[in-house]
Amino acid sequence: MKEKIYIGVAWPYANGSLHLGHIAGCYLPADIFARFQRLQKNDVLMVSGSDEHGTPVTITADKENISPQDVVDRYNMEQTKNMKDFGISFDLFTRTTTKNHTRVVQDIFSRLYEKNHIYEKEVDSFYCEHCNRFLPDRYIEGTCPHCSFEQARGDQCDECGQLLDPVDLVDVRCKLCGKTPELKTTNHLFFALSHFEEYLIEWMDKNHQWKASVYKFTQNWLKNGLHDRAITRDMIWGIPVPLDGFEEKRIYVWFDAVIGYLAASKEWAQKKGMPDKWKEWWENDDAKHYYFLAKDNIPFHSIIWPSILMGYDNHLQLPYDIPANEYLRIGGEQFSKSKGTGVWVPEIVKEFDVDAKRYYLSMNMPENKDSNWDWKDFVIKNNDELVGTYGNFIHRVISFTQKN
């Protein structure tokens, strides 16, 4: 009997080129899994797209003195091409600046607000007098209170993976000018994650098929207690808040991006000319939902996205599995554009056959621990294994069958 298999793949920020860490972390494993499921004659829907509303986009726009729209248009086009070049077989690769996405996000936001899962609260936010602006998440840098990493962002530490509130940081500085910002009082809307803690604990008890690392990470979050999260920010780039009195604020990207999984499914169905077909995966108790991502994205998919779904409509399918990968490194270091370390997808797609790259990344995938990209090993595995062993075997089999 055919199974309905939904595959959601993490949405890359549209503020720069993809590197091989992105491919190995989620896109290639998702594609391998999707191809396997299709071979099993299952009904597969695999979607993703460019995440275009984050502060990384506006920071890039500020640096280049262009509009955020110019930035996302450039990188959505590049990312779409890169996915095709790498043979990633999406049913739809879209973007979060579509009218469809905005409509779905605002609908979910409004429903959660009506059900009292979103509420208003007065908070202290960092304000830079020099730049004359409030500083949302990535416009703030400082020292992580958990691991002492000195370049932690206002929303998350890249070193230890902890999600952060800007006021948690030590030695805070403005990303734009480097000066120390001050705290000012402002009103924001918050998503009541705490409302879903007991439901998540009960749901987690049924998900022992998850990777041990994902299960443990999520358990630790729940053990520490869930804290409500700000769902709005002081910016003009992003999805407008559908409430009177919040015209100058935008919906926070952590909320906006994960809703893309549902919005993209609806967009795919509309483009197929069957606008209700998405329901076969989302309103079907027998459908299985898999989410492919890197380890820094685990809480957004194991805590936040299930909470949004529970609060919005308890008839929608929750994640069945979240096979998050570790990191692909180079020379033992994280891929970093600023440090010049990494292998960038737009460059490597021009240099080598796609099968050589897919094979090496598949054999060197960071499934349970960080792995390393090594150029010498790439050549050896391609020549000795892919060509010398598998290629030779296939050649001999074909030659034998032709002769006999």
Residue 371 DSSP code: E
103-119 pLDDT, tens digit each? 999 999 999 999 999 99
Structure tokens at 270: 């509309």
Q: Are strands 4-9 and 288-292 parallel, antiparallel or unpaired?
A: parallel
Neighbours of 72 (CB within 10 A): 26
What span, in angstroms and rounded, lies between the C-alpha atoms of 142 and 149? 8
What span, in angstroms and rounded, lies between the C-alpha atoms of 254 and 259? 9
Note the pLDDT of residue 335.
Answer: 83
Note the pLDDT of residue 337.
Answer: 62
Q: How would DSSP label each residue in 108-169?
A: HHHHHHHTTSEEEEEEEEEEETTTTEE--GGGEEEE-TTT--TTEESSB-TTT--B--GGG-
Note the pLDDT of residue 338.
Answer: 55
DSSP-derived 3-state class of residue 53: coil
Residue 294 DSSP code: B
What is the separation, in whole angstroms, between the first and last Cα of the chain?
A: 37
Phi, psi of 289 (to 5 degrees): -105, 125
**CATH 3.40.50.620 describes domain 4-115+253-346+359-372:** yes
Note the pLDDT of residue 91.
Answer: 99
What pTM does this model have? 0.91
The low-confidence residues of the chain, meaning pLDDT below 70, are: 337-340
Q: Which H or E element spans position 11? A: none
Domain locations in the chain as residue ranges: 4-115+253-346+359-372, 374-403
What span, in angstroms and rounded, lies between the C-alpha atoms of 20 and 330? 10
What span, in angstroms and rounded, lies between the C-alpha atoms of 372 and 334? 9
Biggest distance spanned by C-alpha atoms of the chain: 82
Instruction: Tell me the β-bridge partners of 290.
Output: 7, 321
Note the pLDDT of residue 162.
Answer: 81
Note the pLDDT of residue 395.
Answer: 83
